[in-house]
Copies of this chain bind each other. A is one copy, B any other.
């Protein structure tokens, strides 16, 4: 569970945290789709609940999201992005653009177009 530092390279260090099959998909839903609860996040392409639980804990440990009790429903623990988490929005949008151009995933093409045309505005639209 501890972040084993692979090297001094910031790309490798970032990937120690984000470089797996699910973490950035979860963050996509938190940062771009603004999903806030465990059960909303469980939908993503069928992630198993134990994996989702593990990834959320890692993201909390890394200071990318926080979790707080929902005042409206004591069963829920809301997931909220931190400033550090919000700085991942550009990466997610770049991935969206690259994926739209070069993979079979073609959902939300207008978002890709927006990112291509005015990246800064697109990024700002996902900030609080």
Contacts and interface: CB of A to CB of B under 8 A. Distances in A.
A13 to B, nearest CB: 3
Number of copies: 2
A99 B24 CA distance: 15
B105 A8 contact: yes
Contacts of A20: 19-21
B19 A99 contact: no
A32 B101 CA distance: 21
Contacts of A57: none
A105 B21 contact: no
A20 B112 CA distance: 23
Contacts of A84: 101-102
A55 interface: no
B102 A11 contact: no
A124 interface: no
A106 to B, nearest CB: 6
A7 B105 contact: yes
A103 interface: yes
A13 B91 contact: no
A94 interface: yes
A45 interface: yes
Q: Which 4 pairs of residues, A with B, have the shortest CB-CB distance?
A: A10-B99, A13-B105, A14-B99, A10-B105
